[in-house]
Amino acid sequence: MSISVSGQGSGTALRVVVVGGGIGGLAAGAFLHRAGIDVTVYEQAPQLGQVGAGLVVSPNAVRLLRRLGHLDRFLDAAVELEVAWEFRRWQDGEVISAEQMRGRCEQLYGESSYVCHRADLLEAIRAAVPPELIRLGMKCTGIEELTDAVRVRFDDGTAIEADVVVGADGVHSTVRGSVTTPAPATYSGMCAYRALVPAENAPEFSRRPVQTLWIGPDHHLVHYPVSGGRNINIVAFGPAGDFTDESWSSQGTVAELLAEFDGWDPRLRELIEHAGTPGRWALLDRAPLPRWSNGRITLLGDAAHPMFPFFAQGAVQAIEDAAALAQCLAAESDPARSLAVYERIRIPRAGRLQQLSHDRKDINHLPDGPEQRQRDAELGKGDALVRSGWIYQYDAETAAKEALTRC
């Protein structure tokens, strides 16, 4: 069955198909709909569920979420950070450095920083997308470029034609193969654990509205409250050994996680003991893509720039991608030209954060010694919140508008 929905060639509105209904895909649907563009989001899962755990949502995303008109839904479940990037020494919890966020972040950048469960952010974005524009249980199996459209095929036999196709289908993107041939992923040697601990079972220090990072030899662990403070999110990193499963559905055990942090501050043990069945996945390393677009096909989010989570910007950059893409497609009648501008705006910024996140894996895991002491001294120098201005003050919509005026 083939359904033709291409618009530009017939004089009707631009028609966009978004493949993937995660944060980036739904954000694309929300911003494109807000811009008056005919868009439908296709997600392979039968429902938008609770997959994932905690996220940091910094001002560069909060200002964009505010414009979608449903920020109240997000704020109902999010936790405003009082302190972020509170680095603590692995052995005894000594504070190496910390950024005061509450009040000061809003003063500098116009918005606060928050932590939340992924599902709560997803729900806030979904509220900006009319339900009839989201199709669930639709797995993309292939892309075919036509003369003036793109055909997307799904596993139920449906074929949809549209003017533009956006691949927001994650790190294992099907759409990406129609844009470029990326270098093979390489094994990082690290794995990650994630878990949620009910606040009533968590030690008091972990319930503070603080993003805390414990750093030490070959490991680090991050925790902060989510879901209005009802749960504590844990994400921890360590050597993977021969474990190479990248799936978010893969699981570890509390015993394994405790063993990774044996000898660390005993307060961490108290927190980890209540971690239930932690998720566990390997971190694979991927080089930045040289291009995100090919004709009428483009990428965003993890499909375009999968990055290690060490700068807490993965989901935020997907939201930025979506906002910039909508501006570009709304301003230019030629889809290929619009996507070329979008790519030119987004690749340098996302690529820089991708590289910084990559570099951070070694810095966080230094063994005790001269390099570790130098790192700790550097962390304590200057004003880290001001240094982060290039991240937090950025406005993806404004950047896209300015770039479009120069074309």
pLDDT tens digits for range 56-78: 999 999 999 999 999 999 999 99
* pLDDT for residue 143: 95
Query: What mean pLDDT is predicted for residues 243-251?
Result: 65
* pLDDT for residue 318: 98
Residue 285 pLDDT grade (very low, low, confident, very high; cuts 50, 70, 90): confident
* pLDDT for residue 246: 59
Query: 22 pairs with which residues across the strands?
Result: none
In a 10 Å sphere around its CB, with 0-12 CB exposed, 13-18 middle and 19+ buried, how is residue 232 labelled?
Answer: buried
* pLDDT for residue 51: 67
Residue 241 pLDDT grade (very low, low, confident, very high; cuts 50, 70, 90): confident
Residue 35 scores a pLDDT above 90: yes
Cα-based torsion angle of the residue sequence 293, 294, 299, 305 in order, rounded to the nearest 10 degrees? -60
Rounded CA-CA distance 348/152 in Å is 29
Which tens digit of pLDDT belongs to each residue from 101-142?
999 999 999 999 999 999 999 999 999 999 999 999 999 999
Query: What mean pLDDT is predicted for residues 230-245?
Result: 86
The yes-or-no answer on residue 114 being catalytic is no
Query: What mean pLDDT is predicted for residues 354-383?
Result: 93
* pLDDT for residue 247: 62
Sheet holding 2-4, edge to edge: 2-4, 159-162, 150-154, 140-145
The domain spans of the chain are 2-80+114-182+287-361+399-405
DSSP 303: G
DSSP 259: H
Q: What is the pTM of this model?
A: 0.94
* pLDDT for residue 11: 37
Rounded CA-CA distance 215/242 in Å is 23
Q: Topology of 2-80+114-182+287-361+399-405 in CATH? A: FAD/NAD(P)-binding domain (3.50.50)
Query: What mean pLDDT is predicted for residues 376-396?
Result: 94
User: Percentage of residues in the chain with pLDDT exceeding 70?
Assistant: 95
Query: What mean pLDDT is predicted for residues 380-402?
Result: 95
Q: Are 312 and 353 in contact (CB under 8 A)?
A: no
* pLDDT for residue 4: 39
- Which residue in the list 224, 342, 392, 394 is annotated as catalytic? 224
